[in-house]
Amino acid sequence: MRGPFNLWRLIRTGATFERTGAMHVVLEAMNAPPRLRFAARVLGWPFKLLGLKGDPNQPPLTRALTALGPAYIKFGQTLATRPDVVGQELADQLRYLQDKLPPFSRAEAMQMIAQELEAPVDEIFSEVSEPVAAASIAQVHSAIRADTGVRVAVKVLRPNVERAFRTDVDAFYFAARVIEFLLPSTRRLRPLDVIRHFESVVEGELDLRLEAASAAEFAANTENDEGFSVPRPIWNLSSRRVMTLSWVEGMAMGDNAALDAAGIDRNELGVRVLTLFLRHALRDGFFHGDMHQGNLKVSPTGEIIALDFGIMGRIDSFTRRAYAEILFGFIRKDYRRVAEVHFEAGYVPPDRDIDEFARALRSVGEPIFGMDARHISMARLLAYLFEVTERFGMETRTELILLQRTMVVVEGVARSLNPEINMWHVAKPVVEEYIRESIGPKALAGDLLATLRILARFGPHMPRLVEDALIAQAHPQQRVVAPDRNRPVIWGLVGGGLVGLGVVLGAIL
Phi, psi dihedral angles at 305 (to 5 degrees): -115, 120
HSE, side-chain direction, 13 A CA sphere, residue 457 = 7
CA distance 382 to 402: 13
CA distance 478 to 389: 58
Beta strands in 286-336 (DSSP E): 286-288, 296-298, 304-306, 312-314
Adjacent-strand bridge partners of 153:
142, 245
Adjacent-strand bridge partners of 245:
153, 233
Q: Cα–Cα–Cα angle for 442, 445, 450, nearest 5°? A: 125
Pick from 423, 360, 367, 430: nearest CA to 394:
360
CA distance 366 to 378: 13
Q: What is the DSSP string of 374-401?
A: TT--HHHHHHHHHHHHHHTTPPP-HHHH
Q: Cα–Cα–Cα angle for 141, 145, 146, nearest 5°? A: 130
Amino acid in position 298: V
Per residue, what are the HEC states of 173-200? HHHHHHHHHHCHHHHHHCHHHHHHHHHH
Output the CA torsion sign for 189, 192, 194, 197: negative
> Would you call 126 helix, strand, or coil by DSSP?
strand
Concerning whether 334 is annotated as a catalytic residue, the answer is no
- The DSSP output letter for 291 is -
Asked whether the beta carbons of 241 and 157 are under 8 A apart, the reply is yes
Pick from 252, 274, 270: nearest CA to 261:
252
Do the bridges between strand 304-306 and strand 312-314 make them parallel or antiparallel, or are there none, so unpaired?
A: unpaired
CA distance 488 to 64: 62
Pick from 415, 429, 348: nearest CA to 379:
415
193's CB contacts (< 8 A; 6+ apart) are: 396, 398
Catalytic-labelled residue, pool 84, 99, 168, 290: 290
Helix (H) or strand (E) holding 434: helix 423-438
CA distance 298 to 290: 16
**Distance of alpha carbon 89 from its chain centroid, rounded?**
26
Q: Which residues are known to be catalytic?
A: 290
